[in-house]
Amino acid sequence: MVGSAASQDSSSVATARQAHALEVGRAFADIIRDDPVVRELWITIDTEEPGVHLWLITDPIGMDKIRDLYGLPVDRMYERFPAGDFFVQILNPSHTIGDVHRALRRDAEQIPLRTD
């Protein structure tokens, strides 16, 4: 393919990848939104595996709570997305120097947790 046909194909792929990332992000938001330690959810998209990165910002929490957040919520995500094309990263202020938002990539997009 050359010219505009190749450009349209890559644009279609990017649009599909973005739509899938939003679907994954919204599904995770539905799962974790009621957890009282959860503050924000952000997504980034890669062209390589795993594809969608879910960046979960929490209150300062201990290791037991971190394990809980990687447990059942992630299991539920695998039920919904069995290909496992996502990766959850917990940004815990207790394990970060400075503002946790500095750990986010510049292209991160916030996914609303609540519809207030």
Residues 9-56: tens digit of each pLDDT: 667 877 888 899 999 999 999 999 999 999 999 999 987 766 899 999
The mean pLDDT of the chain is 89
Confidence (pLDDT) at 1: 45
Confidence (pLDDT) at 48: 72
**Which has more confidence, 107 or 15?**
107
- Rounded to an integer, the average pLDDT of 66-82 is 96
The verdict on whether omega for the bond into residue 82 sits within 30 degrees of 0, i.e. cis, is no
Q: By the 8 A CB rule, do 34 and 40 touch?
A: no
Q: What's the pTM?
A: 0.85
pLDDT of 4 above 60: no
Confidence (pLDDT) at 9: 66
Confidence (pLDDT) at 104: 94
pLDDT of 3 above 80: no
Q: Give the separation between CA 38 and CA 88, rounded to whole angstroms.
A: 13
Q: At what angle do helices 3-32 and 72-80 cross, to 10 degrees?
A: 140
Query: CATH: 3.40.1350, 3.40.50, 3.30.460, 3.30.960. Which one for 3-111?
Result: 3.30.460
- Rounded to an integer, the average pLDDT of 77-85 is 94
